[in-house]
Structure formats: C-alpha cells, structure tokens
Amino acid sequence: MGRWASDAPGRLRAAALELFSERGYDETTVADVATRAGLSERTYFRHFADKREVLFDGSRALEGEIVAALAAAGPGPSLEVALEGVAAGARLLEAAVGHERARLRARLVASSDELREREQMKMAELADAVARSLAGRGCAPAEAGLAAGVAVATFQAAFAAWTGGDGGAGLVEELDRAAGALATLVAGTRAHAVRAPSARGALGTMAR
C-alpha cells in the first residue's frame, strides 16, 4: 500500500490525461479521475487543490529549477541571464515530461477557457519569480520585470513550437531558435528606430 500511495500523484496525472482526452475536460469530474486511478477523492485533494491543478502541478518544479539556475548564473546582462534560467527549465521539462505527454496536455489546455486562464496565471507567476530573482541579483526592478517577461514569452513561444511539431526538434532546440529570433528582432529594431533615440539606446543595452 505504501508503494501505491507514494505513486498517487503520478497515477492521478495519468488518469486525468486519459479521461480529459477521452471525454473532454468539462465532462470529467474529480471523482472520475480518482476512480480511474484507483484512489479516493480525498486522496486527490491531498495532492491537488482543484481539478485544473492536476495539469499544472509541475509548474512548481519548473519555477524552482529556473530560480536555482538564476541564482547560480554568473554576471551578465539581465535578459541573457533570464534566458539562461528558462533554458534550465526547458531541459528539466523536456526530460521529465517528454514530447507526447506535453503535446497532449497542450491540446487539452487549448480546448478549455478555464485551462487557458490557469496557464496564463502560471506563466505570470513564473515571470514574477524570474523578476524577483533578477532583482535579487541587483537588477533594477523595471529592467528585471521587462527581462523576465521577455524571457518567459520566449519560453512560451518555444514550448508552442515544440508541442505543435512532430518531436523532431526538442524543447531546448526550439528555445535556442526562439532566442535567435528574439536577437534578430532586437537587432532589427535597433537598426530602424531612427526616430526614437532613447528607445534605441535602451534596446542596445538589452542586446549587449
């Protein structure tokens, strides 16, 4: 029984993915998920706060990995450090979840307004955590918030490309591509911002 209990979160996550895919998120209850996993509703709520959270509990591990990477990073521009942090999170997510499960989860989230709202909330919380970590490294609050927002948006673009593809490119590879696209965008903006010298200077600082 101890072995089964220790695996309860994994069993509940697997049952939820199966049932949400078979019946739809709105048509599936917590009781359904618990029954499919061979557990009680009480056990479900011991591990997850609500029905949605079974698809989002990994966000804590992701945030922890990114924050730890930021704390360990050497000196450098705020955006570069933030991207290093989300790269560490991408490596963790790719190894822990895998493409097929991530793709299935992404489809489920896209199918439900309720789940999309929770996803947006989790990404906002992640950006806040990254901003706090950058500020703790001595970055000005405004710059920390901007760098964190850009880094998390870059991560989201990479995740969408990864889950929307056939798995030929991994999440880390997609993040490299997204960061490259960001660098090109910044460089192009710097080159054409002839009527906004102050903005051009700020972009130059961010790109260095």
What CATH number does residue 8 fall under?
1.10.10.60
* Residue numbers of the chain with a pLDDT score lower than 50: 1-4, 198-208
What CATH number does residue 172 fall under?
1.10.357.10
pLDDT at 52: 95
Residues 203 and 103 in one domain: yes
Total count of domains within the chain = 2
Q: Which amino acid is at 107?
A: R
Residues 140 and 189 in one domain: yes
> Using the 8-state DSSP alphabet, how is residue 25 labeled?
S
> Using the 8-state DSSP alphabet, how is residue 75 labeled?
S
From the centroid of its chain, how far is CA 146? 17
Residues 149 and 198 in one domain: yes
pLDDT at 201: 46
Using left for φ > 0, alpha for ψ between -120 and 50, and beta otherwise, residue 139 falls in beta
pLDDT tens-digit readout, 86-96: 999 999 999 99
Whole-number Å distance between alpha carbons of 120 and 116? 6
pLDDT at 192: 63
Residues 95 and 160 in one domain: yes
Residues 110 and 201 in one domain: yes
Whole-number Å distance between alpha carbons of 173 and 158? 8
Burial grade of 12 (CB within 10 A; 0-12, 13-18, 19 or more): buried
pLDDT at 95: 95
pLDDT at 186: 87
Residues 38 and 64 in one domain: no
Owning domain of residue 138: 58-207
Residues 99 and 28 in one domain: no
Domain termination site, one of 31, 50, 69: 50
Residues 33 and 67 in one domain: no
Question: Do residues 38 and 60 lie in contact, with contact meaning Cβ atoms separated by under 8 Å?
Answer: no
Residues 45 and 62 in one domain: no
Residues 105 and 14 in one domain: no
Q: Which amino acid is at 123?
A: M
Residues 101 and 161 in one domain: yes
Residues 119 and 142 in one domain: yes
Question: Do residues 140 and 146 lie in contact, with contact meaning Cβ atoms separated by under 8 Å?
Answer: no
Whole-number Å distance between alpha carbons of 132 and 169? 31
